Amino acid sequence: MNGENLPDYLEIPRADGAPGWRIARRLREARGAGRDRPGLVWLGGFASDMRGAKASFVDAYAASQGRALLRFDYSGHGESAFDTPGGRFEDGAIGDWLEQSLSLFEVSTRGPQILIGTSMGAWIALLLARRLNEIRLRDRLRALLLLAPAVDFTEELLWKMLPAAARRLIAEKGVYARPSPYGPTPTPITRRLVEEGRAHLLLGGPVRAHAPTHIIQGVLDKDVPWRHALALADRLVDDPVTISLVSDGDHRLSRPQDLQRLATTLDALG
């Protein structure tokens, strides 16, 4: 395992032949009794990074259990942000982050895994599960844990909610600097993010997770309404699904009681 404060970096090739992505990774190897339990894969949210409160909690949980954990930053996020083509946040889109997730999964994990997707990461988790099924690696999935699942967020929670002026900026200029409730720096919303995201939408029909799935959703979440999570649960077919609504929970789900719920759910999933 790498030092706690130092990631290693992997060069991830791109299918279109463009220069690859340089992705920061923190990999915790299994030890002791943890070798007999599924590994954990952390899939972060939009504009978040692998050192946030929930990801750090999961790392401490994995350490206490001796379980393997893969966490990494998508291109343009956290320690994978570089001022080079493809390394800037505004260069990225859902398909890029999915390809990076699949590559990291293949080279960094062994045996069955639990995918933990938070916000946008829940969308990535479902897309990754579909890809693993397509390439005959479905047996590598033990379960999915989806926190405040922002599935199809580029269309349903972003584009459809933007004011007309912001949509015009995206269409005409290619980018809109959206004010962020989580910090002073606005988040660039690009035309490519929205348009490329449409190739990965899931909620227009039945959704397969290809493994048992547990959703945790805060009722007071202003970014991902709880009805959005219910809509996802309603479309999940052929796989066991459980949804836990946290009556006083917000989008972060990072209070001590939220983190304890996360650990208890992971224990139950394997």
| Spatial separation of the C-alpha atoms in residues 251 and 221, rounded to whole Å | 5
Average pLDDT over residues 3-30: 90
12 is in which domain, residue-wise? 8-151+205-269
Range of weakest confidence among 3-7, 44-48, 261-265 = 3-7
Q: Is residue 168 part of a domain?
A: no
Q: Is residue 197 part of a domain?
A: no
Q: Is residue 156 part of a domain?
A: no
Range of weakest confidence among 9-23, 150-164, 189-203 = 9-23
For residue 3, the model assigns a pLDDT of: 43
Domains of the chain: total = 1
Q: Is residue 245 part of a domain?
A: yes
Q: Is residue 262 part of a domain?
A: yes
- How does residue 76 score in pLDDT terms, banded at 50, 70 and 90? very high
Query: Per DSSP, what are the bridge partners of residue 216?
Result: 147, 244
| Spatial separation of the C-alpha atoms in residues 112 and 164, rounded to whole Å | 45
Helix (H) or strand (E) segment spanning residue 60: helix 53-65
Q: Is residue 186 part of a domain?
A: no
Please report how the helices 120-134 and 94-108 are oriented relative to each other, as an axis angle in degrees rounded to 10: 60
Average pLDDT over residues 58-69: 98
**Residue 11 above 60 pLDDT?**
yes
Percentages of the chain per state (helix, strand, coil), in multiples of 5: 40, 20, 40
pTM of the model: 0.96
Query: How much of the chain, in percent, has pLDDT values that exceed 90?
Result: 93
Q: Is residue 240 part of a domain?
A: yes
Q: Is residue 46 part of a domain?
A: yes
41-34-137-26 Cα dihedral, nearest 10 degrees: 30
Single-letter code of the amino acid located at 64? S
Instruction: Identify the residue whose tokens are 């590994």.
Output: 39
Query: Per DSSP, what are the bridge partners of residue 190?
Result: 175
Single-letter code of the amino acid located at 208? R
**Residue 233 above 70 pLDDT?**
yes
**Residue 4 above 60 pLDDT?**
no
CATH number at residue 239: 3.40.50.1820
